[in-house]
Structure 1
């Protein structure tokens, strides 16, 4: 009885009655107006997408009502694939999610308040010390166990983790936010539905695009299937569309103009099981940066697709089926479509396609990213110089060898499947090497230069990665050259065919083949180097244990046929990079005087004097090995710098740590391959990571002092601690959320289409 009385008293207090306020009905609080903005401000940074803690996605009313699950999405060691649980896809409505073992965080449990109310109360009554380092016993990041207490288990959780209420280990809710959420929860947590609807202009364009994708005929159906499989991850935005409105391609049982009846298959190339139509569905909920892979559509894009796919003299006499064989070899599945059309479509928006596998679901966690370097540049082969495009006989020989693993997930067959597909891939590399040896020596015209997607920079941030247009940073250790067979295989292996809910066999096969993809891109690039230097360059990329991998798994490279590019024999790779910068200046979307300072001035034009001076000072930190700038050893992978000028002016920079490795040929054992003395920093304007690891806020006038202290810190942790204390924005900083969300505001100001809430799951406790 006493327990029930206290619970009732608590409900009265949080409803405001005991504070002398007028009683508020449930209608007084609007979920859309009052609740979602608080969740977006304080919760979505950790509770969104696949890596939301306990799958509790707080970016929409549907996610809030769905609740939580004890089963993590990312669980690479599971022996059996699990059922997909994609919000808005795999179930509709609260009852359907309960049948999938999601439990409510909103419902009161008899005399107990809702689980969310108790989690928020635990966090609110145990605030953290302002801007202090957090206790070491609070585990954060990917190392944190997936603690997902059921309502009846909350007391045990609170007893064991008294300082781990919500929001977790960060400056919490204001009193007003806390009271608003608790009043809403006490009133039964009503959620009104307010789905995004297309504007008139968007609806007109959607109708045009759906009409194109749903044309009758075998040829039209085959093209539409290929396009759908290449755009299913895209957040489509339209010319003249509403800011913040994005759409996704789906398959529906209903035709255009009718409500979408979604066909939710594990992969976009799984059999739909019924007649279907391609439809564009609005992306609902808060846009988060880590899943926001944008793709533009408009009249010019529509015209381009018709030109590429329907202007030639070709016809599909029949349609391929579905199944493991069709998934494993898209070259065979879509061989009726001219290869030049397929490749050119991907080149036109190459940044989008590379983002799908560099920033998409496959690149989450250290094991996933272990097989790529921390920074490298990407270029593409000109279609007219791609033998797969130009030579039908060669294409016929190559196509059967381009099949990819991962379609059979029998755990006991991992090694045999891996060996079979490795050997098939190496047979292809041997065929390619011999075929290209017959062609004229490759020159600068070998590289595609059609638009600003032609040059890309990749940065790996330990357990995630990002891609940006243009050539950023100093000339990197490695570069990748994609031709069509490699670009298409990479996309299918890491985006279309990758099942984040798959078992250990599927995920191991996917990531092992990723190693072969990287090697293939490097070997393609090596052919641009002088023949007598290729072996030495390759040896530099595969030092120590990498030599074993070269012997076991890779095909021999061409060290005989010449390159048509004349390069400095002392360092041909660097000379290539510098000349690429000169020759492609008009295409380079990311001019970079900070990291590639050629004279006395190391800042961008057009800035105020204060910010120019700040960039000039910051340039002293970049492109220097950690052996001479030892503070690098104390920095995480992706640090954001917020530089404050006069009158509210500010600039945001990404300070990226590039870890050096003897090789990246293995999924495991990365620590044994570090070369920390060779680590460097890259500094570039903008936000180049979806997962900031830390942030400094520095007045422009104090930047020279910040740089001096960084240079002097060396291995002195006490000195670095003083830097963090003075300019760092710790999770406990009173203005943490203001500074953290200002990163997104900066993206909104500089490139609004790309804006989205950033993830703070990897924000470190410096």
Structure 2
């Protein structure tokens, strides 16, 4: 069969899919407005970058120009990105047969001249006397051809993350303006105000001066940094090994110091060739576990620039956290061999690299902050990834195995036996060797699962029970998580949110660590097609393994039937070929009394783990009462809750309006005093299975779609916003639930929708950030509108 051929069939399909997702045809020319609007006069007073320009960039530009998918790699989170400018090559621009040279700000080049040598061109300076700076042309073009207020954009304007960006220089701008007169900046939204335009134009005319952005640390920050850098850079061998493991698990974190008062500031942990007290000189390896090739020191550096929601993955550094590290890793002696190096095996298999560190310490450290670790690979900084995200369901719950019941943690001989089988692919990215590489790791994975299954049958003869699920020690609310997929992005939130999902994951230590290394440590967003395909294929195995582990709780004789529901139609073809066969004979320690054991067990989980479930009662999605609302909220909010609760947990066959909604919809509800609350409407799309890279639409089951309504914010990429007075909330919900036809939905949009061209688009968008900043400042940030729809 083709499955056993060295993956060339899969490779050809991957090329086909990527070609479809990255259409490089030229955009059709837009029809210009009848006559351009007169431009406001540029400001003549000395314009301050920090006080006048930076706020404009934050409110009007960052929503598109951030992260790795910033158009033309023009990243505007910091002055460094603005000075670097733009680049013709997209990080996500189609299938690469060879890895791309990384272009990370603050790491891969530290000077503007270095970026110029790499091909980045300025957007602030003209190339010659006959042209003007690119930023001037772009903002003038948008200002001259504004869109009618709250109008639907012309079809000639292509939106979405797969649109072709022209990436012109100032020399070619005149041709661009002629061909695309409606594609100025900000792109396809309500543009700059007259004052904003005047300030930007004046600033550029004055030379676009950007003073050196230096972050002045407080004395408290300097003391804490010195303390932590000393802790990370101890010379004793055990300390060195633990520090390396900690670095590889915290390098993507937005670190903060909760013990300090004042402004919240975030830091990053990196490797520098210079010690504490000297200027940081980052060691620019592609991955954090690549060989640094020189002596290095772990350093803490302030994260410069603006706060983006999609990049914010907070992690605290305080005395309690350091004491926890000391207790877990150093309270008991453990034998230590030679320090590991950076060989292929040591990079591909963290269980080999860190075998000397007790598995309990590693696993418990990750469990303590399970939401952080899941956030790194579910919500993390990669920015887009349908190829990876289509391996997961749109809505599922994630639980974790109790360390005391995890045989990898408790059984040393078993641990030694399976460690060689736990390596993950992706280090070798040769196209010709990809098939052989995949089969090698697939065989090892299935050999591991066979050993694991036999060991659990032998050691836990009564079967798995709820006692084998980590309960957060009765207080840690990282124990229960909910994951939502939004097509090519995903989110994680604490607690069991929404109606009981179709699938659940139960992750043990090997599954959690493998996922983290496969999708975070060893994943290279600049990598080639072989690297990305192998990553995707192995993550498919990890998901299947997490589901199988949960199945141990299900009654014998019914697991295979339940899995057939999770892997309908073509999904069943992979069992016995790619996926391991489910153990449907060994007992479960749980006793079941109904004909729906999964639903019964999920209900039992909700009751059993209520103390650590931040959504122990979900009155919007799991309400069984007459009054479905949050009792601790004001009456006007309860009114909105009750209205929304009428359209949740119902399949699309009974709720016509679901099919009109995008993946993520933000709703702001206001009362007569202009107080507001917010909701996120999440369209959970149903599929017969998620076992394949291609053909997602063929497996789509739209009649089974459901709506989860979250009282707050989930997602970094809103697809649309509604702004509804509470007096009209019941009418809004009623119309939405019955919006079977497009024209019905368009009426709702016309009445309460916030189109890209809405006069208050920016104010309302940023009010969601303000709302979250008031309640969850650690994860609040500016939202990305690259996926905002044109309804």
TM band (smaller chain): over 0.9
1:176 and 2:202 aligned: no
1:762 alignment partner in structure 2: 787
1:88 alignment partner in structure 2: 106
CA contact (8 A) 1:690 1:759 kept: yes
1:284 alignment partner in structure 2: 304
CA contact (8 A) 1:542 1:550 kept: no
2:283 alignment partner in structure 1: 263
Q: How does 1:147-546 map to 2 (within 5 A)?
A: 147-241=166-260, 242-362=262-382, 364-440=384-460, 441-450=463-472, 451-546=476-571
The match for 2:713 among 683, 687, 702 is 687
Report Cα offsets for 1:397-430 as digits up to 9, x if no partner. Answer: 1101001100001011222211111111011111
Report Cα offsets for 1:678-730 as digits up to 9, x if no partner. Answer: 0000001111000000010000110110111112222x111111001001000
Deviates more, 1:233-242 or 1:655-664: 233-242
How many angstroms does 1:32 deviate by? Answer: 1.0
1:599 and 2:621 aligned: no
How many angstroms does 1:551 deviate by? Answer: 3.6
Deviates more, 1:685-694 or 1:432-441: 432-441
Distance 1:173 1:128 in 2: 12
Distance 1:530 1:405 in 2: 34
How many angstroms does 1:644 deviate by? Answer: 0.5
Distance 1:196 1:288 in 2: 18
SS of the counterpart of 1:458?
Answer: strand
Identify unmatched segments of 5+ residues in structure 2: 1-36
CA contact (8 A) 1:84 1:90 kept: yes
SS of the counterpart of 2:667?
Answer: strand
Distance 1:161 1:91 in 2: 33
Distance 1:632 1:243 in 2: 42
Distance 2:135 2:51 in 1: 19
CA contact (8 A) 1:56 1:64 kept: yes
Distance 2:368 2:189 in 1: 42
1:6 alignment partner in structure 2: none
The match for 2:159 among 136, 140, 144 is 140
1:742 and 2:767 aligned: yes
Distance 1:445 1:546 in 2: 31
The match for 1:64 among 82, 91, 103 is 82
1:102 and 2:128 aligned: no
SS of the counterpart of 2:514?
Answer: helix
SS of the counterpart of 1:74?
Answer: coil
Distance 1:123 1:739 in 2: 21
The match for 1:631 among 657, 677, 700 is 657
1:120 alignment partner in structure 2: 139
How many angstroms does 1:281 deviate by? Answer: 0.6
1:676 alignment partner in structure 2: 702
Distance 1:334 1:237 in 2: 26
1:645 and 2:671 aligned: yes
1:724 alignment partner in structure 2: 749
How many angstroms does 1:362 deviate by? Answer: 4.8
How many angstroms does 1:193 deviate by? Answer: 1.9
Distance 1:756 1:653 in 2: 17
Alignment RMSD: 1.5
1:574 alignment partner in structure 2: 599
CA contact (8 A) 2:310 2:783 kept: yes
1:20 alignment partner in structure 2: none
Residues 76 and 206 of structure 1, relative CA distance in 2, 3 Å threshold: farther
2:13 alignment partner in structure 1: none
Q: How does 1:543-558 map to 2 (within 5 A)?
A: 543-558=568-583
How many angstroms does 1:76 deviate by? Answer: 5.4
CA contact (8 A) 1:243 1:753 kept: no
How many angstroms does 1:206 deviate by? Answer: 1.4
SS of the counterpart of 1:146?
Answer: coil
CA contact (8 A) 1:362 1:498 kept: no
CA contact (8 A) 1:626 1:633 kept: yes
SS of the counterpart of 1:438?
Answer: helix
The match for 2:638 among 601, 612, 633 is 612
Distance 1:486 1:415 in 2: 23
SS of the counterpart of 1:144?
Answer: coil
SS of the counterpart of 2:738?
Answer: helix
Distance 2:39 2:748 in 1: 46
How many angstroms does 1:455 deviate by? Answer: 0.2
1:661 alignment partner in structure 2: 687
Distance 2:675 2:327 in 1: 46
Distance 1:364 1:37 in 2: 26
SS of the counterpart of 2:439?
Answer: helix
2:54 alignment partner in structure 1: 36
SS of the counterpart of 2:191?
Answer: coil
2:732 alignment partner in structure 1: 706
TM-score normalised per structure 2: 0.93
Identify unmatched segments of 5+ residues in structure 1: 1-9, 17-22
Deviates more, 1:363-372 or 1:672-681: 363-372
SS of the counterpart of 1:143?
Answer: coil
Distance 1:371 1:691 in 2: 20
TM-score normalised per structure 1: 0.96
Residues 202 and 373 of structure 1, relative CA distance in 2, 3 Å threshold: same
Residues 324 and 75 of structure 1, relative CA distance in 2, 3 Å threshold: farther
CA contact (8 A) 1:459 1:467 kept: yes
How many angstroms does 1:13 deviate by? Answer: 8.0
Distance 2:391 2:93 in 1: 19
Report Cα offsets for 1:553-573 as digits up to 9, x if no partner. Answer: 011111111111123441111
CA contact (8 A) 1:201 1:240 kept: no
SS of the counterpart of 2:197?
Answer: helix
